Amino acid sequence: MTTDARKTLSAIQALISKDLVETSAEQIRAEFVEDGLNPDRVAREMAEAIDAAVSEFQRSRVAATKAVKKATKVPVPTSRPALERIKELVQSAFQREPNLATAFRNGSKQSENDWNSTYDDLVLLGKIDPNQHD
């Protein structure tokens, strides 16, 4: 659509909106009757159409949200080896690939949770094969 066509369309929309705002409910009702339409039925049909559109929009948003959530869901290994084996596997991965790095709080000793999460991260990165527990 060209810029001129967009400007024309915007101008028409503005005039329609202005006309609608300036027209009373009684005048609109009279125009419906004049056109042979039942104002109550038209209002009901419009409300149903709006409800259907809103419902469809909400369903599509839920479906899109579920798709994004599913696509971005990070799988966590379902089982882990013993902690000592995790330490060996993590240390081995760091020795094989010196560009891997991690940081620990205050340089303190790593907790079991630290080792587990590092193991999980390295499995997700493909740096540790989760099938080689033993």
Q: What percent of the chain has pLDDT over 90?
A: 37
Q: Is residue 78 situated within a structural domain?
A: no
Number of separate domains in the chain: 2
Give the Å distances, CA to CA, from 79 to 82, 83, 86, 127, 130: 10, 12, 11, 16, 8
Instruction: Please say which residue of 72, 95, 117 terminates a domain.
Output: 72
Q: What is the pLDDT of residues 15-62, one digit of tens each?
A: 999 988 899 999 989 999 999 999 999 999 999 999 999 999 999 988
Q: What is the pTM of this model?
A: 0.42
The per-residue pLDDT for 56 is 92
**Cβ contacts of 134 within 8 Å, gap of 6 or more:** 81, 85
Give the Å distances, CA to CA, from 55 to 8, 50, 63, 78, 131: 32, 8, 12, 38, 46
Cβ distance 130 to 77 under 8 Å?
yes
For residue 10, what are its two tokens? 């915007």
Q: In terms of residue numbers, what domain contains 24?
A: 3-72
> Is 88 found in the same domain as 52?
no
